[in-house]
Amino acid sequence: MAEILVYVDHVDGAVRKPTLELLTLARRLGDPVAVALGNGAADTAAALAEHGAVKVLTADAPEFAEYLVVPKVDALQAAYEAVSPAAVLVPSSAEGKEIAARLAVRIGSGIITDAVDLEAGDEGPVATQAAFAASFTTKSRVSKGTPVITVKPNSAPVEAAPAAGAVEALAVSFGPLATGTKVTARTPRESTGRPELTEAAIVVSGGRGVNGAENFAIIEALADSLGAAVGASRAAVDAGWYPHANQVGQTGKSVSPQLYIASGISGAIQHRAGMQTSKTIVAINKDAEAPIFDLVDYGVVGDLFDVVPQLTAEVQARKG
């Protein structure tokens, strides 16, 4: 069976959920061979084997942390040459997309980004994507070279499928470009204890109607009652009420959770581009004419300062 290279996104050995989702998709195409790089790479093996990796190629070197992107491309290319896979799958993070893009150039292949589904086809993997703010669904394939495809979080279920997961050290020699962009300082983002926005099953977002940074506490309280991530519209971010890292929309994050709750968000195209593929959409807005209500499965026309705290209290009561 063909081997499928899967790039592993992990934090010091802890595999992030989108990679486990990738393994589910990779198994539809062939035998997943995982590539884990950097600090704790070998520690990823157990989780990857549990989810279907037949092999785990690992490499660690200071270059992975000290320079931007290219050392990882060198390593992924080494894995590609060692395995000769039928496809290369990479999580659709900002860094993942850049790694995939540079690899695609090197191996003379086409690239598809932000796939939301993947199937085996007669001419190689067929990727489903959402286009034009998710108003269209397209099916595409790579027509030259070995398909390189990045996949959005929440595109497939995480499924246990135990496999050998034999760990092998990957030999990597860094090219002249590897040390081109130096990371001179790194400040880790403070953890909020909430799920990662793009990976969360539930996202609670606030917009212009939240009317002030201090009022985001209401949105956060609802998010915490549901175990959700917090998002914000561009208007709220531009006003300085919430960090840009939490922005949902065209110029922020694109999310696809099971449940999306928009509070005080009108639903401009900018925002819709980032959340329209959510499975269930709920909105709370004072303005009955807000375009967000065209998208919702359930909408409440009302003041978020009344509705959201009442909802939070009710969720807490029901959860006991």
Partner 1 sequence: MSLRIVVCVKYVPDATGDRKFADDLTVDRDDVDGLLSELDEYAVEQALQIAEEADDAEVTVLTVGPEDAKDALRKALSMGADKAVHVEDDDLHGSDVMATSLVLAKAIEKTGYDVVIAGMASTDGTMGVLPAILAERLGVPQVTLLSEVKIEDGKVTGRRDGDSASEQLEASLPAVVSVTDQSGEARYPSFKGIMAAKKKPVESLELDDLDIDADEVGLEGSWTAVDSAAERPARTAGTIVKDEGEGGKQLAEYLASQKFI
Nearest-angstrom CA–CA distance, 90 and 71: 16
How far is Cα 101 from Cα 88, in angstroms, rounded to an integer? 11
For residue 280, the minimal CB distance to partner 1 (Å) is 6
Q: How far is the CB of 182 from partner 1 (least distance, A)?
A: 5
Q: Which span sits near partner 1 by CB under 8 A: 22-30, 38-46, 210-218, 242-250?
A: 242-250
Cβ 204 to partner 1 shortest distance, Å = 11
Q: Among 35, 118, 170, 202, which residue sits at the site for partner 1 (rule: CB under 8 A)?
A: 202
Select from 2, 14, 28, 139 the one that contacts partner 1 (CB under 8 A). 139
Q: Which of 119, 159, 287, 294 binds partner 1 (CB under 8 A)?
A: 294
User: x/- site string to partner 1, residues 30 to 69, per CB under 8 A?
Assistant: --------------------------------------xx
Residue 174 in contact with residue 59, Cβ under 8 Å? no
Alpha carbons 163 and 30: distance in angstroms, whole number: 13
Residues contacting partner 1: total by CB under 8 A: 91
- Tokens coding 151: 């996949």
User: Closest Cα to residue 161, out of 20, 44, 315?
Assistant: 20
Closest separation between CB of residue 125 and partner 1, Å?
11
What does the DSSP assignment read for 33-84?
A: EEEEESTTGGGGHHHHHHTT-SEEEEE--THHHHB-SHHHHHHHHHHHHHH-
Determine the interface stretch with partner 1 among 23-31, 48-56, 212-220, 287-295 (rule: CB under 8 A).
287-295
CB of 243 to partner 1, least distance (A): 9
- State both tokens at 116: 């939301």
